[in-house]
Homo-oligomer: A and B are copies of this chain.
Amino acid sequence: MTRFDPVEVHAAWLPAEAFRAIGSRRVLLCGEGQLVETVAHEIEQACARYGGSWRQREPDEGGTDLGPGSDGDGSYELILGLTSAGSLPSAADAVVERGALGEEGFALARRDGLTAVVADEPAGLLYGLFHVVRLGEAAFAHSRPVELHRPAARLRMLDHWDNVDAHPVMGQVERGYSGGSIFWDDGVLRADFGRVRAYGRLLAACGINRVTVNNVNVHSTEAHLLTDRLGDVIAIADALRPYGIRVHLSVNFASPIALGDLPTADPLDPHVRSWWAETTRQVYESIPDFGGYVVKADSEGQPGPFAYGRTHAEGANLLADALAPFGGIVHWRAFVYNHRQDWRDRATDRARAAYDHFAPLDGQFRTNAILQVKYGPIDFQTREPVSPVIAAMPSTRLAVEFQVTQEYTGQQRHVCYLGPLWSEVLGFRPWGAEGSTVAQIAVASGGGLVAVSNVGDDPFWTGHPLAQANLYAFGRLAWDPQLDPIAVLDEWIDLTFQPFAGEGTGGAKLRGTLHAMMDESWRVYEQYTAPLGVGFMVRPGQHYGPDVDGYEYTPWGTYHFADRDGVGVDRTRASGTGFTGQYPQPWSDVYESVEQCPDELLLFFHHVAYNHVLRSGSTVIQHIYDTHFAGAQRAAEMRQAWEEIEPGGLVTPALYARVRDRLEEQVRSAQEWRDQINAYFLRKSGIGDAHQRRIY
């Protein structure tokens, strides 16, 4: 696809039909600014399609009551207005103090037949518009008291792991499962940015406001995006700006050497400091709303401050200082560990690494430096405990990092709706029931949420069409971490499929099928893959499919230590690596105790015998067999459910076929996982299945 064709590219959660409720009404828009123009354009398109009418009030017009039956411009049914745009219609007045909605918030109300959306700033109006889209006819069905909508976190960011040059091993998009990059194609910025604009629109509609355009592993070509290839970044920023999205750039810590011809990248060297200051100044000259930098330093081969005997705070502050005059931010990743570990060495524990490196630095980071912490201590596994770093740095701004791209969760060949995983993490309370949640910690610190994007130039954006739901859900949970992930999924179904349902009953059936397939899909994936939180039983390198011992004797620090007697990693203080001690109470003791530790994390924290009895009452070995048979069975049931859907109407034949093909692979892969894991543990333990099912 060389030119973006909105017919060939799936509309995701913004099909034209989703705008029917707005487009068939009389709409007034009050306000000015680039994002208001975006709103105007959306309304104009919708009304043109569905026969409604709209008007944008000129700045110098006085405010009048423009409710139903009023004179003047006639009776409006929907008004969207900035609080700065003069007096607003009755439904919207006295909603809130001007300024209370913030940069991105909005208020919604309906009274006397008029639905009103009010915002202090244009971005809020844009988010308000998409909220009305989400509501559809419900926005006009009955009176609504004033509702305030403000994002929990100011920073709601997607990181792209896109390369400019297709990397010989990692490809155009590292860990991308959706085709090529929407930004670059084999070294060249795409000429057609229609796709980028469409992407920005989708992100605005779910609440994302920051995008990092390139891979955190910054290779040589990509390093130049900071300087002589800044034009690429300018172009992307221009395309995303109308959707309230600011761009960030992943930079290489050694840039002063590679790009600036300096002999060092030492963060305390004055020449290095002025190089970054001047380079950053030039970036802002071209992109005044540039978001800032993302850095993966001293991690998996990337350069960093350790080479100069400096701390990561000194490294991060170098960039923070360069960005500060322009309001920019540096996201500094906490993913630092020894990836050349000796598997023979059981004292070193990769799970400890981020805490050991960063907790001592609490309070040393600048206020415009954000420590970006993966949600678990290892690496985006299907099941990990929440990273102890999150509770360990009260004086540091923290962003929690998720992975929308399904690197370890089925690579968009498996249905795996991740909303419930993220929701569980966001709602985790490191200090127990009375303490803050992870989401509250991140928000209160002034950080936010970050995730690795899952889109590419695939016609369905995400390879697996149902993986769109993950992208949507991340945006919505970043906006409001308390949302029920199943309700968010329902929103996504509504927007994506329901506009096509019309008055028929097919919609209800499809909704039921999708919920049946997706609600539990993360736990199903967990069932047929690595058991009880032990993690990493994937094929090395590609991270897809089972290979129980694949990482067992490697330098990557990810081991399960299965022998003929038992399995799991002893991370206790009493006899193991002491990782449990990185948690505050009560978790420090809960995880330490083999009796209290939650079943789903047992093998993450403990090495136990195969006949150890879980809290569930099952033994470890029988649990392994049972969950693997059940998980593969449930994958087969997903396929069965999908086969009962009729293609056409709500589900286009192309989308139907794509999902069907991926389900074939999921069923095959789930059986492979089942058989390999079960065979591995039967051969090792010698303990048969209590139900005598076939194990090879």
Contacts and interface: CB of A to CB of B under 8 A. Distances in A.
Contacts of A68: none
A683 B546 contact: no
A680 B680 CA distance: 13
A675 B547 contact: no
Most chain B CB within 10 A, of A343, A563, A675, A679, is at A563
Contact of A686 (B562, B563, B679): B563
A616 B139 CA distance: 85
Given A553-B546, A553-B547, A684 B684 contact: yes
Is the interface on chain A under 10, 10 to 19, 20 to 34, or 35 or more residues? 20 to 34
| Number of copies of this kind of chain in the complex | 2
Contacts of A648: none
Nearest to A345: B696
A548 interface: yes
Contacts of A676: 553
A548 B547 CA distance: 11
A686 B548 contact: no
Given A546-B553, A549-B549, A553-B546, A564 B344 contact: no
A668 to B, nearest CB: 11
Contact of A696 (B344, B550, B672, B680): B344
B684 A563 contact: yes
A381 B686 CA distance: 30
A565 interface: yes
Interface string A552-568: 01000000001111000
Nearest to A676: B553
Interface in A369-398: none
A680 B549 CA distance: 10
A562 B344 CA distance: 22
Contacts of A675: 344, 553
Most chain B CB within 10 A, of A168, A343, A546, A553, is at A553
Given A549-B549, A676-B553, A563 B683 contact: yes
Interface string A82-108: 000000000000000000000000000
A364 interface: no
A685 interface: yes
A170 to B, nearest CB: 13
Contacts of A563: 682-684, 686
Contact of A564 (B546, B547, B679, B684): B684
A680 B552 CA distance: 10
B562 A683 contact: yes
A308 to B, nearest CB: 29
Contacts of A546: 553
A686 B344 contact: no
Interface string A313-353: 00000000000000000000000000000011000000000
Nearest to A677: B553
A679 B547 contact: no
Interface string A263-307: 000000000000000000000000000000000000000000000
A564 B686 contact: yes
A343 B685 CA distance: 20
A549 B676 CA distance: 11
Interface string A144-169: 00000000000000000000000010
Nearest to A541: B541
26 contacts: A168-B168, A344-B675, A344-B679, A546-B553, A547-B549, A547-B550, A547-B553, A548-B549, A549-B550, A553-B672, A553-B675, A553-B676, A553-B679, A553-B680, A562-B683, A563-B682, A563-B683, A563-B684, A563-B686, A564-B564, A564-B683, A564-B684, A564-B685, A565-B686, A683-B684, A684-B684
Given A547-B550, A562-B683, A563-B686, 9 more contacts: A546-B553, A547-B553, A548-B549, A549-B549, A549-B550, A550-B550, A563-B682, A563-B684, A565-B686
Task: Please list the 5 inter-chain residue pairs (A to B) with the smallest Cβ-Cβ separation, ordered nearest first.
Answer: A563-B683, A549-B549, A344-B696, A564-B564, A553-B676
